[in-house]
Structure 1
């Protein structure tokens, strides 16, 4: 299980984003550097993860708050990484 922090969650729409622990955005590489043949930075395998309210493991109203700590599994969804089995920490 991964752990992370809720980046945002829209309770009206029922979805949001989680930033996994240890995530560092890859360095930016300008188009000019790519044109001159400099190697591109290695892609970061983990980025913000989509979370749907149906993945939240709790009874009653399912919602998350920005800044909240959670644990979760990551699966590959149709549009990228998606959180499953989301539980609140602490």
Structure 2
């Protein structure tokens, strides 16, 4: 899993971004990834661990699985 920090998450809109600790490009996170993990929200600055996948619709990298670190 990749370690990172929540950069932004809007629970009303159901998406945000996680900044990987290795300095690579921010990764999109959607509410469905949180639902799969049994989480309801993310807080700015929260430490998380996550895996990524390529979104079949957009072709962009997104969070597949996530958990609080």
TM over 0.5: yes
Runs of 4+ in 1 over 2 A off after TM superposition: none
Which protein shows a greater Rg?
A: 1
Matched, 1:51 2:36: no
Structure 2, gaps ≥5 residues long? none
Return the match for 1:81 from 43, 52, 61: 61
**Superposition pairs for residues 1-90 of structure 1, below 5 Å?**
1-23=1-23, 46-56=24-34, 57-58=37-38, 62-77=40-55, 78-89=58-69
Q: How many residues align?
A: 65
TM-score, normalised by the number of residues in structure 2: 0.85
Shift of residue 80, structure 1, vs aligned partner:
1.6
